[in-house]
Structure 1
């Protein structure tokens, strides 16, 4: 420590010590008053000085290691979260202008390091806010606002077959009954009983029952309406009969391209499934084409219980393995020629082939959102090889996150983005730690070297699986309310098969397809997939292979996400700060309070906490909705379990159940019941409008639920109810049909809106 409180510089000529940016940061930090005055009986000044010196050393190292850049991606994501949390329809232009001005000011103030960094962070935050709002406006399209039975004419854009028969079809709409152009959704998704005669690109017509994309089934639950909006789907429903091809104007070029890709995917799916057979064929086809409709739910449950369901979703793992196979094969083949190996940059050539192969695989597999995100990450990382940069670095990961979020800001809200980037950040941090701890290889006999290699492979597989599991656990628990305690065993047992047998066979089979020599490759791939399924079933057979966890709020998730960022992004001892949000997030998640009443968004049914502390159902509750409620409550019962109706008293007018404190909750299906239940029930739920004189403490009738969506109540201090709603009061979003304001105000019920999360299914049935 120098007398002026600054850190000593390395000896030598100017510039031979820390880099210029580090010296600038040290001067900026030294001027911020971290050093103590040395005054006080209790050496408080010395303590402050030591803390300040430690912070300066840590921050200097972060700057020297160029670890501030990833925080720009964090700030950009923070702006996106603020945009989705903002009330009303804010304009993107003020944030965009201020973001550009802040970026320019940061460049102008680059000589003042601390100020420049603060301005860059503000610019990233503002630009993220603006990007989300611009994306919402760019996709603005009509959303159906009522249930409608009408004739639908449109072009088949994609087809998803189901193992149980039939499937789902996405139509690009030409006309819907008498709806005008400004009221007509651009796309609708229909459930059809039979796919016979249908092909992507066809112009078809049929009668369908359409309804608005369903909103969240509970406050904080999966909001399919929002996801459908960003997919361009403005209505969902079912065809009442067959969809019939009709003559008419042809599809445009973009639709023809999308239809050709989807048709090729469907054909290859049938080819692979037919060659292998059974569920091994269905899973193998999904691994290659991304079409998961042939996988039975029992198989999905086994894969989830084993913690390897991510294997059947084409995303990071598949893209990395596919790109890696292309990269390795190209480099190995080129290395066979000494002239090429010595005279050509074969590593860069292999990187280009890997990038091209990954891009082609992304397009062929349907270019789903998760696949596109993985492709961006791979292109950035393999592109770094072309410029002689380290491919696996947090800087590249942050750059890919910025590209993905600038293109699709809504991705930040979903589990796919959160889990994939969380896992990769953890794995890169682990790789960096291993590089620091790795010792130089010692010469030895070949057997010893092979043994060391195998040991490193086993430990690496276990270590990476453990890190990825820990990094993704907060997001998986938040969105799916489930933990797989044996995921480490499941991944360690199956991923070697997937990495060294299944995916190479998938690439080879695809390459052999044009020559008609692919069948034997699919059969070999089927053997490997069958092994994966058997290992998964073995892990799933363990007791408590799936543990449900009650839902917790976004506050706990944000704290846990911050803990992950602090544990992976810093390279200095600042990582220890992750313990603070980690402990706070775990405590907040553990203390999350469960609701006592959940009312369906249309008032058709409700879940009520009974005397035994478990939920019971009243009214007509769809299986999908009941499943959402039960899983969020940490309840593993099936929606058809008879105990879900135990303790409920019903007659022709409605049903009544009692809360643990004895108060009655009434669900009415007939207006005649209001006169009595408004007097004796604490809560009245109905899809009918309640009379103005209803004296119940909380009234959740048609008008109120139409305005605020699914609603939950929990008993608060003093016995009153605290209300949470899927919609904020007066909230307007492009994906939400306009609702009337509630006809009455609930008497003295605190209310708070809950933001949406996601679930594993992409829609309600």
Structure 2
């Protein structure tokens, strides 16, 4: 009846023969919306929007500009909303709005509770002092290793000012293992802030992992007995990490080279032995997600266990006829994939993938369709309730975006039409081969379209040949690499695994060869300018409207998608970038490209270049400025004179001549420069980006918020006592900042 009402409204408009009055348009639109919403409710497709509302509440919390909210406020408000629902049974629209509001309040409350639960001390300034602590995790690298250490002491810092965990590197070949209690001298610094306003905030991610400082160990490292018993949970996690490292070495020893390093990463998630050049090749081919323990690994691991158990049970006629072997296989798959996630380190991407996989397998146990939007929404609820901050990162956005797109398009990519290629053995073989190729291509295409907004926003890169790379390598990964990984793990306890790892390494070599071939194409990786949150929000809304409804409401998605593409295609580009210490900058010169001033770290400079859509390396951006031992000067593209005064002796002259003055020191009173970015300004704003408008410079800072964020130590915080303060050389700061940064690239896509 609702559809009939919508049809009558449309006919009335057409019969008018002219532009109808506004009231008629409104009436027809209301009728159409009522009909489409009735269809959505009839097919129970409104539930996924509650997960969207839950996520909206999380975003509202992280967008706060005031102080921290009371922890009881959001849960009580949500309870009041839910108490109203029995009174709204006759008003479906009101009921839906109240439930959405309750979900948003619960999301807001979950984020507030999560921050309160993980909050801990953060190191306020760079310090060097003796350190003692327990190694919780160890990642071997080509040189040395990177450790997560639970601190027992650091110099004279009292317990209330001491970070719970620190992440440090060491470059010696000393044998350490998870569970060791160590003593060494360490150089620690606060977790890095964004290199530019709107950039990736490692400090936020470190805060939610309990990491309050990063740095490096200096000199000899002493292994001591722990001064007190280690809690069982820490002993277990350290033992698991040690087992992962042992298996990583066993796999690399069986293969050697980068094939062994990649094969080990596919099994254990330890990526420290993969060379940067190999990472670049995998990213250029669009398949770097393969070496991150995430959705692909969980699905393949669960699928292999499910298939093996079900096939083995089907061989016994009595079991196949009388027992629910499909459910038994699902139960074994759930156990196996959970054990695999625990072994792989419970990485955040793997954990979210595990939740999704368990819900899909659980649907089999209760005779429900495994792949549908309700299950995906339930997985999102569980993942976000556990880690609300995950909503802000590329891993959650890309994994759920890809699965949502594939779920919505499942009926178009299942290959049923191609399976009817003909009768007979040859026809069926052709149909199956065509289905495999067609399904792989369409699956990859849908996943790439669904994840493109998030990948471009976070990484500023596009891999145009990713479709080819995934189409050529995923069959190899699915049919050879991952089954070999499962068989190798099963054979490992019996010491029969070396031949399996060797065979797996041969398949990985094929994968690397394909990736290298694709990476050799021209423009295999395209760097695009960074666009703002507004463009991402519009594209995300478009994706949600396109995949969640089953009615014609999905056609509305064209509006936010078009607006989002227009916004992303014309981003607001900055003309000057300044690091948070004021020791380096990049200015747009007369050529229209950024030119480096001073000594910014290569890691930070490349972040600036990438945000500007510039694919150059840091070493290629240093020509064009006039520099001496006191500082640098450069005339910007619009004629303004920009000066970077590294030495205090340069300040009087630069204040008199420069339009924009940048210095890590305090500018003298009465400095005549039109805009001064000095120590005090940087302490307030952090890293700075400036847009040069005709009306004057427009300045934005990475710390531009009225709210004191718990993961960002502001200059107004009281200084922590420290045994020594170290003034770093720029090369040391660059090395430690690169070590602190996450593995770049789309490592956690699916």
Q: TM-score range by the shorter chain?
A: over 0.9
- Cα distance in 2, alignment partners of residues 115 and 107 from structure 1: 11
Aligned residue pairs, count: 718
Is residue 307–residue 486 contact of structure 1 (8 Å, CA) maintained in 2? yes
- Cα distance in 1, alignment partners of residues 234 and 674 from structure 2: 54
Relative distance call for 1:447 and 1:729 in structure 2 (3 A) is: closer
Query: What is the 5 A alignment of 1:127-142?
Result: 127-142=106-121
- Cα distance in 1, alignment partners of residues 421 and 175 from structure 2: 66
Please name the residue that 2:480 is paired with: 501
Query: What is the 5 A alignment of 1:385-464?
Result: 385-433=364-412, 444-464=423-443
| Cα displacement (A) at 1:483 | 0.4
- Cα distance in 1, alignment partners of residues 477 and 416 from structure 2: 29
Say which SS state the counterpart of residue 67 (structure 1) adopts. Answer: coil
Q: Choose from 449, 454, 467 the match for 1:488.
A: 467
| Cα displacement (A) at 1:760 | 4.3
| Cα displacement (A) at 1:695 | 2.4
Larger RCO (CA under 8 A, 6+ residues apart): 2
- Cα distance in 2, alignment partners of residues 196 and 439 from structure 1: 58
- Cα distance in 2, alignment partners of residues 759 and 571 from structure 1: 38
Please name the residue that 1:702 is paired with: 679
Relative distance call for 1:342 and 1:618 in structure 2 (3 A) is: same
Please name the residue that 2:730 is paired with: none
| Cα displacement (A) at 1:543 | 0.8
- Cα distance in 2, alignment partners of residues 369 and 438 from structure 1: 38
Q: Choose from 251, 262, 268 the match for 1:283.
A: 262
- Cα distance in 2, alignment partners of residues 196 and 107 from structure 1: 66
Please name the residue that 1:737 is paired with: 713
User: Are 2:641 and 1:664 aligned?
Assistant: yes
Is residue 222–residue 759 contact of structure 1 (8 Å, CA) maintained in 2? no
Relative distance call for 1:135 and 1:355 in structure 2 (3 A) is: same
Q: Choose from 192, 197, 203 the match for 2:181.
A: 203
Say which SS state the counterpart of residue 154 (structure 1) adopts. Answer: strand
- Cα distance in 2, alignment partners of residues 392 and 41 from structure 1: 47
- Cα distance in 1, alignment partners of residues 415 and 548 from structure 2: 16
> Which moved further from structure 2: 670-679 or 305-314?
670-679
Q: Choose from 668, 692, 709 the match for 1:691.
A: 668
Query: What is the 5 A alignment of 1:203-242?
Result: 203-242=181-220
Query: What is the 5 A alignment of 1:273-672?
Result: 273-433=252-412, 444-641=423-620, 644-672=621-649
Relative distance call for 1:344 and 1:108 in structure 2 (3 A) is: farther
Is residue 193–residue 242 contact of structure 1 (8 Å, CA) maintained in 2? no
| Cα displacement (A) at 1:433 | 4.1
Say which SS state the counterpart of residue 723 (structure 1) adopts. Answer: strand
| Cα displacement (A) at 1:147 | 1.2
- Cα distance in 2, alignment partners of residues 416 and 593 from structure 1: 25
Say which SS state the counterpart of residue 243 (structure 1) adopts. Answer: strand
- Cα distance in 2, alignment partners of residues 723 and 504 from structure 1: 54
Say which SS state the counterpart of residue 215 (structure 1) adopts. Answer: coil
Query: What is the 5 A alignment of 1:84-103?
Result: 84-91=62-69, 92-103=71-82
- TM-score using structure 1 length: 0.91
Relative distance call for 1:199 and 1:65 in structure 2 (3 A) is: same
| Cα displacement (A) at 1:439 | 9.8
- Cα distance in 2, alignment partners of residues 698 and 326 from structure 1: 64
Is residue 421–residue 430 contact of structure 2 (8 Å, CA) maintained in 1? no
| Cα displacement (A) at 1:42 | 4.1
Q: Choose from 680, 683, 687 the match for 2:657.
A: 680
Q: Deviations over 1:145-183 (max 9, x none)?
A: 0111111010011111112x1111111011111000110
| Cα displacement (A) at 1:36 | 9.1
Q: Deviations over 1:108-159 (max 9, x none)?
A: 4233211110001111111111111110110011000011111101001111
Is residue 316–residue 371 contact of structure 1 (8 Å, CA) maintained in 2? yes
| Cα displacement (A) at 1:479 | 0.7
Please name the residue that 1:749 is paired with: none
Q: Deviations over 1:361-387 (max 9, x none)?
A: 000000100000000000111101111
Query: What is the 5 A alignment of 1:1-40?
Result: none
| Cα displacement (A) at 1:292 | 0.2
User: Are 2:744 and 1:761 aligned?
Assistant: yes
- Cα distance in 2, alignment partners of residues 359 and 41 from structure 1: 64
Say which SS state the counterpart of residue 150 (structure 1) adopts. Answer: strand
- Cα distance in 1, alignment partners of residues 628 and 543 from structure 2: 52
Query: What is the 5 A alignment of 1:109-148?
Result: 109-148=88-127
Please name the residue that 2:38 is paired with: 60
Unaligned runs of 5+ in 2: 718-740, 746-750
| Cα displacement (A) at 1:476 | 0.7
Relative distance call for 1:436 and 1:525 in structure 2 (3 A) is: closer
Is residue 35–residue 48 contact of structure 1 (8 Å, CA) maintained in 2? no
Is residue 130–residue 183 contact of structure 2 (8 Å, CA) maintained in 1? yes
Q: Choose from 692, 717, 724 the match for 2:700.
A: 724
Is residue 480–residue 759 contact of structure 1 (8 Å, CA) maintained in 2? no
Q: Deviations over 1:319-354 (max 9, x none)?
A: 100001011111111111111111111111111111
Relative distance call for 1:107 and 1:541 in structure 2 (3 A) is: farther
Is residue 35–residue 53 contact of structure 1 (8 Å, CA) maintained in 2? no
Say which SS state the counterpart of residue 652 (structure 1) adopts. Answer: coil
Relative distance call for 1:180 and 1:121 in structure 2 (3 A) is: same
Say which SS state the counterpart of residue 72 (structure 2) adopts. Answer: helix
Say which SS state the counterpart of residue 684 (structure 1) adopts. Answer: strand
- TM-score using structure 2 length: 0.92
What is the CA RMSD across the aligned residues, in angstroms? 2.3
| Cα displacement (A) at 1:107 | 4.2
Relative distance call for 1:515 and 1:665 in structure 2 (3 A) is: same
| Cα displacement (A) at 1:48 | 4.3
| Cα displacement (A) at 1:759 | 6.5
Q: Deviations over 1:741-760 (max 9, x none)?
A: 9xxxxxxxxxxxxxxxx974
| Cα displacement (A) at 1:729 | 4.4
- Cα distance in 2, alignment partners of residues 58 and 530 from structure 1: 51
| Cα displacement (A) at 1:575 | 1.1
Please name the residue that 1:12 is paired with: none
Please name the residue that 1:752 is paired with: none
- Cα distance in 1, alignment partners of residues 716 and 637 from structure 2: 34
Is residue 322–residue 358 contact of structure 1 (8 Å, CA) maintained in 2? yes
